[in-house]
Amino acid sequence: MRRINAGLARPRIGSAPTTSSAESGILGATDYSAPAITFDRVNVAYGRGKSTTRALIDFNLRVSPGETVALLGPSGSGKSTALKALAGFTRPVSGSVRLAGRDITDLPPAKRGIGVVVQSYALFPHMRVSENVAFGLRSHRVPRAEIGTRVAEALEMVGMSAFGKRLPRELSGGQQQRVAIARALAIRPKVLLLDEPLAALDAQLRQSMLAELQQLRAALPDTAMLYVTHDQSEALALADRIAVMRDARLVDIDTAENLWKRPPSSFTAAFLGGANLLPCTVTRVIGTSALVSVGGTPVTAHAPRPDISPTEWESDAGALLCLRPHAITLTAPTERGALPGRVTASVWRGSTTRLTVALAALPDALLEVDVTGHDERPAGTAVGVRFPDQGAVLVPAPGQTS
Ligand code: ADP
Ligand code: MG
């Protein structure tokens, strides 16, 4: 298998595209009714023999024109590998990748017309900003007379018009990343891939760049974007849909709202929003309303319909109760209907305090609870725990599907 480990966005010197179709970005017939991006049962493996790592397993994904999909997952889950397979920097063992319906699996990276931005910027250090942005245009055979306009347009889009003469080392990290984005945009790609573009920036800069990426997205309504991140807040801020990845596989894909409100799996519930997952037993389900037992205490919960959930909720079956830390309220320990527990830890976070509570009925399951302001309750304080009506959602226990 061919293995290419070059930086994702590093332009390939010497690759000589035979296309003049810089405008459409891709060769040949384009089917505008097809998804902008298609992954069809893509498998990618690194290495050979016993040391093989399967980095992508039966990966299927479709992204519509103009849609932004975030690939969200922990480090090593295969996110970058998916991007590399689409950009052409790694060759799938099997399966195909398509752009607007056209199979590009065997096309060299430079001929795919995809804009790519990576965490490390990958700018040429000896080239000025405008030369960096122009670089991809030359390899895409954009007429010389047009290059200046395109560079100016791309730098304008990222607010870097005044910096064309600078060298990368004369720019801050955020500015370098803007240039990298301009370079990707200069080829006017139909498909833009971003691999953790904010990961190298400090927290404050990340926030303002996130807002700029939102604006950029709005300015490019026809461009499909695949945005790789391990940071759920970036995925929530930018993506129309979120594809959650784990161990080389796609776990769940849906709108952020659906994944948040009705997580289809315990992994997604925990990874997106850090939910509490309490073991419970289903007592009965009527429509989408469930009565469950948490260590003997009855609790009402939302039960996603079988067409949404991968499981049918059966009486007496075990499940998990998904509870967001901010949705839980603490009461006096003796309040009726509240589950008695004890505070075991408390961390003040400024606008909220994160309390850890051990429930008397389920001493092994620790609940994270966020309360507003600076909470003074020390460890050991007896409390009552109350769940919001319908704010608790049933999630299948791992391995549980109907
Ligand atoms: P992510 O981007 O989600 O952090 P990657 O796609 O980079 O994950 O990696 C997926 C898996 O493939 C990991 O186990 C990683 O160690 C492995 N991997 C990635 N690139 C290579 C490579 N060039 N050679 C060998 N293994 C690799
Ligand atoms: Mg990665």
Q: What is the per-residue pLDDT across 73-88, written as a single tens digit (0 to 9) for each?
A: 999 999 999 999 999 9
Average pLDDT, the chain: 87
Give yes or no: residues 39 and 137 share one domain.
Answer: yes
For residues 360 and 309, membership in a common domain is answered with no
> What per-residue confidence (pLDDT) applies to 1?
38
Nearest bound ligand to the CA of residue 79: 1
Residue 349 and residue 236 share a domain:
no
Other beta carbons within 10 Å of 377: 15
Q: Of all atoms in ligand 1, which is nearest to the CA of residue 74?
A: 3
Q: Does the pLDDT value for residue 25 go beyond 80? A: no
The answer to whether position 16 is within a domain reads no
The CA-atom distances, in angstroms, between 140 and each of 86, 158, 226 are 18, 21, 22
Q: Is residue 250 part of a domain?
A: no
- Measured in residues, the chain has a length of 402
Which residues are near ligand 1 (CB < 6 Å)? 5, 46-47, 53, 55, 73, 75-81
* C-alpha span between 192 and 115 (Å, rounded): 5
- Judge whether 8 lies within some domain: no
With contact defined as beta carbons under 8 Å apart, do 319 and 280 qualify? yes
Closest ligand by atom to 197 CA: 2
CA distances (Å), origin 264, targets 87, 135, 202: 30, 44, 33
Structure tokens at 179: 């240039």
Q: What is the pLDDT of residue 110?
A: 87
Domain around 293: 262-323+388-402
Instruction: Indicate whether 148 and 25 sit together in one domain.
Output: yes
Dist. CA 52 → ligand 2 center (Å): 18
Shared-domain flag, residues 222 and 237:
yes
Cβ atoms 269, 277 nearer than 8 A: yes
CA-nearest residue, atom 12 of ligand 1: 55
Two tokens, residue 113? 């017309």
Same domain, 236 and 357: no
**Is residue 27 in some structural domain?**
yes
Domain count, the chain: 3
Same domain as 148, residue 173: yes
Q: Is 249 among the domain residues?
A: no
pLDDT single digits (tens) 94-129: 999 999 999 999 999 988 999 999 888 789 999 999
Ligand 1 center to residue 77 CA distance, Å?
Answer: 8
Of 184, 213, 244, the residue at which a domain comes to its end is: 244
* 381 & 397 share domain: no
CATH at residue 91: 3.40.50.300
Query: What pLDDT was estimated at residue 162?
Result: 94
290 and 368 in a common domain: no
Q: Which residue's CA is the nearest one to ligand 1's atom 5?
A: 78
- Token pair, residue 256, equals 């952020």
> Tens digit of pLDDT for each residue in 131-177?
999 988 887 778 888 999 999 999 999 999 999 999 999 999 899 99
If you measure from the C-alpha of residue 206 to the centroid of ligand 1, how many angstroms do you get, rounded to a whole number? 24
Helix, strand, coil percent content, the chain, rounded in steps of 5: 25, 30, 45
Going by their DSSP bridges, the two strands 329-331 and 382-386 should be labelled as antiparallel
Assess contact for 39 and 59: CB atoms under 8 A: yes
85 CA from centroid of ligand 2 (Å): 13
- Residue 181 predicted with pLDDT over 90: yes
Which residues are CB-neighbours of 376 under 8 A, at least 6 positions away?
none
Q: pLDDT confidence of 49, banded at 50, 70, 90?
A: confident
The answer to whether position 352 is within a domain reads: yes
Do 343 and 206 belong together in one domain? Answer: no
Same domain as 312, residue 374 = no
Chain segment 275-322, per-residue pLDDT in tens: 899 999 999 998 889 999 998 888 999 998 766 666 678 888 889 999
In a domain, 32, yes or no: yes
Q: What is the CATH number of the domain that holds 300?
A: 2.40.50.100
Kindly state whether residues 169 and 292 are assigned to the same domain: no
What's the rounded Cα separation, in Å, for the pair 292 and 319?
9
Nearest atom (ligand 1) to Cα of 82:
6
| Mutational test site, ligand 1, from 39, 54, 80, 196, max ligand atoms within 8 Å of CB | 80
pTM: 0.86
Lowest mean pLDDT among 195-209, 296-310, 337-351: 296-310
Domain assignment present for 180:
yes
Domain CATH code at residue 338: 2.40.50.140
The ligand 1 atom at the shortest distance from the C-alpha of residue 5 is 23
3 state SS of 3: strand
Q: Which atom of ligand 1 is nearest to the CA of 3?
A: 23
Confidence of residue 29 (pLDDT cuts 50, 70, 90): low
